[in-house]
Amino acid sequence: MSTPITPRPLMVLGTSSGAGKSLMTAALCRVLRRRGETPLPFKGQNMSNNAWVDQAGGEMAYSQALQAWAAGLEPQCAMNPVLLKPQGDSTSEVIHLGEAVGSARAEHYYRDWFRPGWAAIRQGLVRLQSAHPGGRLVLEGAGSPVEVNLQARDLTNLRLAQYLRARCILVADIERGGVFAQLMGTLALLRPVERPLIAGLLINRFRGRRELFDEGRRWLESRTGIPVLGVMPWLDELFPPEDSLDLLERRGRKRDADLEIAVLRLPSLSNFSDLDPLEAEPSVQLRWLTPGQELGNPDAVVVPGSKQTLRDLATLRSSGLAEALQRYASGGGQVFAICGGLQMLGRELCDPEGLEGDGDRQQAGLDLLPLRTVFGAEKALRHRRSLALWPPPAAGSAMALELEGFELHRGGTTALAGCEPLCADGQLGWWRRHGDQGGEVAGTYLHGVFDNGPWRRRWLNRLRQRKELAALSEHQPHHRQQRELLLDRLADAFEAHVNLEPLLKP
């Protein structure tokens, strides 16, 4: 039996963080899949608190999961063998091949973790290529590839490109300005051995008529000798943000929004992709709220996940937002919390091993739910399915709705008296009604809860009922279908505006 021919790897580099590498890599994966190839997304090292759990219980960055879906593959942690999860004070949790292996301070990271990290990257490559013989690696870089103080210890940019002989695309974001300086400066800082790896340039997020950049394209090609593969237009689609900083750009107002939902933008915000399905609802306006800003009187408040629950809880208190949230809830407000947010809403949080930092080992929560959380070293990392017991159905609706998602947290939570289970198995969250004002507080450990279309609409209809608005249809597909449509539209634009032939030549 003949061995499949392995196509030459491709790599997407960027002139800076936020240039669009993650989405361009996803687009490239979808386009190659359309051409009959098996693209294998891979990012050797990523730094993100927006994570996914694969079917084997391994932790990986959400952006590589998105790229796997673009490639038509099931995400696996080998696609992101080194994940760094910032946890404050210049420290990060270190995840190798899906498992937590320790923590690192920034100043000691390369001293202590360079060799183990490179070993994990090589092992991830072997696992991924063994699982998909003949697949083409589609690599994503990190930040800028020419950080001169880090080049000698680079784990995931040009060291990997050289190791795999990858053809590289260099992406620059014209929306940020200075696109010529971005590209020329990056190329100037490449070492002579690295320059031949750059096979093409890509201009991203261009507004207006493409022909207006024709002169710029010719200038770049004549000065660099590298083809400009394309000019990607600014897309109005609401793609998943590449990192939490991108959330700041989501400030547009929706004309037809009936509901305003405030989301607490915690200092250690994690798994912010949980909110993508709500952001995609035409009738919902999300207002990301930083501690220190006024809560106001939204139709609901969502407290999302946190990488540092106790520290973020302390920030809510010191900023006055904790007290504002308590007043809002007791006055009839609607509060929903996910994972770390659920822990904060409880009555008591215990950290006997000091896993959450050097603060008090036992702290009071916001006491909006009668829960007790004890943090432990072991993580819950698993996919879950359950039936939702709340919200109750409207007349003519199905009694219980199926939920699916995943757990990713440290700590176990137990319900005290007066707390009712939200799900049939009693483990994914609890809720309680407050006073005579009609307010409700609910929480769950289930990441991806809003991805479940019928449940999301039932929860929104509960908010709409309070405003005497017509109910929305609960006949909604899982958010993955909308994600697939977005990936297809991204790939359509990529195919229309980018010439891949110089990259795919033998």
The catalytic site residues sit at 339, 447
Q: How far is Cα 39 from Cα 54, in angstroms, rounded to an integer?
A: 18
DSSP conformational letter for 293: B
Q: Which of 217, 319, 193, 209 is nearest to 264 (CA)?
A: 319
**Residue 324 near residue 290, CB atoms below 8 Å:** no
Q: Which of 227, 231, 233, 142 is nearest to 505 (CA)?
A: 227
Report residue 146 CA to chain centroid gap: 25
**Residue 94 near residue 56, CB atoms below 8 Å:** no
Q: How far is Cα 59 from Cα 8, in angstroms, rounded to an integer?
A: 28
Residue 305, SS3 per DSSP: strand
Angle subtended by helix axes 479-497 and 21-34, to nearest 10: 90
Q: How far is Cα 186 from Cα 199, in angstroms, rounded to an integer?
A: 14
Report residue 242 CA to chain centroid gap: 6
- State the CB neighbour count (10 A cutoff) for residue 148: 8
Sheet holding 259-264, edge to edge: 284-289, 259-264, 300-303, 334-338, 439-444, 429-434, 420-421
**Residue 4 near residue 103, CB atoms below 8 Å:** no
Radius of gyration of the chain (CA): 24
Q: Which of 288, 75, 378 is nearest to 83 (CA)?
A: 75
Q: Which of 349, 353, 340, 339 is nearest to 371 (CA)?
A: 349
Structure tokens at 314: 């302390």
Cα-Cα end-to-end distance for the chain: 23
Alpha helix ranges (H) inside 149-261: 158-164, 179-189, 214-224
Q: How far is Cα 103 from Cα 84, in angstroms, rounded to an integer?
A: 9
Residue the block writes with tokens 């996910």: 338
